[in-house]
Structure formats: structure tokens, C-alpha cells
Amino acid sequence: MENENIENENIDNKSVGSEKDFRRKKYIILVLIVFILLILILILFLYLTRSPLIFRSGAYSSTTTATVSPRPAGTSGLSLDNSYVFASPLRAKVGGEQIRITVFILDDRGLGISGKTVSLGRGSQLQVSSIQPVTDAQGRATFDVASESTHGVYIIEAAVDGATLIQKATITFD
């Protein structure tokens, strides 16, 4: 009888031990699955943040299969909606500090147009220096703007081919 009780206790101890082992294995597998999922999410996040597709216009993609027909002669493809004016910094001190104005002239697909002469609206109170008034291959033209003595907020307009861009930049001289 005592032998039977000892055997039953051993069997109970073994079943409790095997139950603990089963729980431990189940816990380890669960932790590994969560760890793998987190790694996959991190890889996906890094891929999406470095992918040029996120920053590329939906209107044009290098993977598009549509054929692009050439433009008829005499049409520039200039898009006033896509072109824009960028100012950096937005605020400067009167009497010598300059603000760099960059104008991007783009076509209807969002691509830069080279060889276009850009002009900025010239106020009598601002000094505009043309750094690169003719657009480069990216459609970029650059200017420096300064105010020698007049404080204020100014709206900078750019024009190309006799048309004023829709988007403007607001700068301040203190």
C-alpha cells in the first residue's frame, strides 16, 4: 500500500512538473511570436520611411506603364498649381540679414522645367538679388531678399512666362 501511495505521489509530481514544463514552453513560444511580430513591424516601418514612393507624387511614378506622348511644339507644360515659392528663413533682421527665396517651376506631372526665367515682385522697400534667375534641371531658381531699413511683413510673389504663381511666401523683417 505504501508503495502504491509513493508511486501515486511520484505520478502526481511528474504530472505537475510536466504541466509546468508545458506552460513554460507555451510562454516561450508566445514571447517568440510577439518578438518576431515586433521585428517585422519595425522592418516594415523602416522600409516605408525610406521608400521614395511615400514622397513621390501619385501623378507620376517610375513604375507607371502608360506611355507619355510628347508635347506639341510650343507648349511648355507649365503648371501654376504645381509650382511653388519657398523661403528660408521666414524671419530676418533689418539691415543686412537675407532670406533665401527658392522658386520651383514644375510641369503638370510635378517635374521641374529647366530654362525658364523667373522674376520676383519687386517692392520698393526690399532689395532682391538674383542668384540664379533661370531654372535648372529641377526647375529651381534662387534669389536673396533683404531689407536695409524697413520693418514689416511681406508677401513674395514669383512670375514666369508672364504668369504669377498661385502659391506665395510670407516673410518678416524685424
pLDDT of residue 102: 93
Closest CA to 164 of 133, 122, 100, 119: 119
Place of cell 511614378: 61
pTM: 0.55
Which overall architecture, per CATH, does domain 84-173 show? Sandwich (2.60)
Q: Domain map of the chain by residue range? A: 2-54, 84-173
Q: What is the pLDDT along the chain (174 residues), one digit of tens a residue?
A: 555 555 555 555 556 667 888 889 999 999 999 999 999 999 888 877 775 555 444 444 444 444 444 444 444 588 888 888 988 898 999 888 899 999 999 988 889 999 999 998 766 778 888 899 999 999 999 999 988 888 888 888 999 988 888 888 888 888
Q: Identify whether the C-beta of residue 167 lies closer than 8 Å to the C-beta of residue 83.
A: yes
